[in-house]
C-alpha cells in the first residue's frame, strides 16, 4: 500500500488523470490511495493569491512560501511523525526519473508530490520540506502536474495488487533492461503479412528463444545505451 499525496493548484486535473483505468481500480480496491491538496486553500491572502513578483526582477511570478508550507504541514500532520515520508518536488532541475527510482519509491508508505507553477516556488520553502527533486526528461513543461502523474503511474504499477495477472508480465521486459519483443494477435494473415511461423509452433522453448533474440536485436538497434548496460551485466554472470 502506497499513499500518494499531491500538493497542487490544479487538483481536478490530477484527479481526472489518475482515477481512470488501472489506477482508478487500484485506488478503489485499496492497494493505493490518492489525495490532492489544493495549495490555494491555504493562502492567508484575502484575495486567494498564491504568487508574487520575484526579488531582483525579471519576468514571471513565483509561488510564495507560506501557502505551500501550510499545505505541506496539513498533509505531514495527518501522516504523523511515526511514518517517514519523502517530499518530491517536480522540476526540470531535478534528477531524471527512471525505473530504478520508481522501484525504490514503490517501497514507501507515503509519498508527497509538490507541483510548481509559474516560474517556480520560493527557494526557502523548498529547502525546508523537499527531500527529492525530480525531472521527467529534458524538455520544459508548464507545471509539475503531468510529471507527478507520470511518476505516480510508474510507481503505482509496481505496488503489489495493482496489476492483475495478465498485466504483470510486462514489468519483466523493461525490468530486465531490454526492450519488448514484437507481438501479434489474430488473424494469422493481415494485409498479406503473416505472423512469424515460430509463434504458431507451440514450442515454448523456441518461442522464448525467439523473443529474447528479438528483444536483444531491438535494444541493440534502438537503444545502444541500454544494450551496452545489459551486456555488461550479463558478461559477469556468464563467467
Ligand atoms: Cl518535473 N517540471 C517541468 N515544469 N518541466 C519538466 C519537468 C518537470 N520534467 C521535465 N520537464
Residues 189 and 223 in one domain: yes
Percent of the chain with pLDDT over 70: 95
Residue 173 clears pLDDT 60, i.e. is over it: no
Owner of C-alpha cell 556468464: 238
Print the domain residue range for 209.
172-238
| Same structural domain, 129 and 202 | no
Residue located via cell numbers 512560501: 65
CB 180 within 8 A of CB 145: no
Kindly report, residue by residue over 87-103, the tens digit of the pLDDT: 999 999 999 999 999 99
For the CA of 148, the closest atom of ligand 1 is: 1
Q: Based on the domain organization, do 14 and 100 belong to the same domain?
A: yes
Residue pLDDT, tens place only, 54-69: 999 999 999 999 999 9
Q: How many domains does the chain have?
A: 2
pLDDT at residue 169, rounded to an integer: 45
Q: Is residue 165 part of a domain?
A: no
Q: Which residues contact 16 (CB under 8 A, 6 or more apart)?
A: none
Q: Which ligand 1 atom is nearest residue 147's CA?
A: 1
In a domain, 167, yes or no: no
93 located within any domain: yes
CATH number at residue 191: 1.10.1270.20
**Which residues approach ligand 1 with their CB closer than 6 A?**
90-92, 135-137, 139-141, 143-144, 147
163 assigned to some structural domain: no
Mean pLDDT of the 103-132 span? 96
Q: 53: which 3 cell numbers?
A: 513578483
Does 204 share its domain with 140?
no
H-helix or E-strand spanning residue 113: strand 110-114
Assign 50 to helix, strand or coil.
Answer: coil
Considering the domain architecture, whether residues 113 and 8 belong to the same structural domain is answered as yes
65/222 Cα distance (integer angstroms) = 44
Query: In terms of domains, do 146 and 191 share one?
Result: no
The pLDDT mean for the chain works out to 94
> Are 108 and 198 in the same domain?
no
Of 141, 142, 149, 150, which is best to mutate to test ligand 1, by the most ligand atoms within 8 angstroms of its C-beta? 141
- Examine the fold and report which residue of 98, 124, 156 is the final residue of a domain before the chain moves on: 156
Residue 162: inside a domain: no
Whether 3 contacts 109, CB under 8 Å:
yes
With 90 as the cut, is the pLDDT of residue 17 above it? yes
**Residue nearest atom 8 of ligand 1, based on CA coordinates:** 91
Choose one of 128, 156, 184: the last residue of a domain.
156
Whether 178 is covered by a domain: the verdict is yes
- Give residue 24's pLDDT band: very low, low, confident or very high (50, 70, 90): very high
Tell me what pLDDT residue 167 has.
74
Q: What atom in ligand 1 is closest to the CA of residue 94?
A: 1
Amino acid at each position: 500500500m502506497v499513499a500518494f499525496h499531491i500538493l497542487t493548484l490544479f487538483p481536478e486535473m490530477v484527479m481526472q488523470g489518475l482515477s481512470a483505468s488501472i489506477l482508478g481500480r487500484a485506488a478503489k480496491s485499496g492497494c493505493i490511495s490518492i489525495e490532492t491538496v489544493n495549495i490555494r486553500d491555504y493562502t492567508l491572502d484575502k484575495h486567494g493569491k498564491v504568487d508574487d513578483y520575484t526579488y531582483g526582477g525579471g519576468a514571471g511570478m513565483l509561488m510564495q512560501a507560506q501557502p505551500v508550507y501550510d499545505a505541506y504541514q496539513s498533509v505531514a500532520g495527518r501522516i504523523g511523525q511515526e511514518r517517514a515520508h519523502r517530499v518530491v518536488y517536480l522540476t526540470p532541475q531535478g534528477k531524471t526519473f527512471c525505473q530504478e527510482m520508481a522501484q525504490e519509491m514503490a517501497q514507501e508508505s507515503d509519498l508527497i508530490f509538490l507541483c510548481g507553477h509559474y516560474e517556480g516556488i520560493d527557494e526557502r520553502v523548498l529547502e525546508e520540506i523537499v527531500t527529492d527533486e525530480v525531472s521527467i526528461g529534458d524538455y520544459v513543461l508548464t507545471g509539475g502536474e503531468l510529471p507527478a502523474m507520470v511518476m505516480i503511474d510508474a510507481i503505482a504499477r509496481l505496488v503489489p495488487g495493482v496489476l492483475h495477472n495478465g498485466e504483470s508480465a510486462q514489468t519483466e521486459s523493461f525490468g530486465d533492461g531490454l526492450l519488448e519483443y514484437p507481438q501479434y494477435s489474430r488473424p494469422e494473415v493481415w494485409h498479406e503479412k503473416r505472423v512469424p511461423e515460430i509463434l504458431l509452433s507451440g514450442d515454448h522453448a523456441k518461442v522464448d528463444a525467439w523473443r529474447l533474440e528479438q528483444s536483444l536485436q531491438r535494444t541493440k538497434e534502438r537503444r545502444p545505451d541500454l544494450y551496452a548496460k545489459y551486456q555488461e551485466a550479463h558478461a559477469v554472470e556468464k563467467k
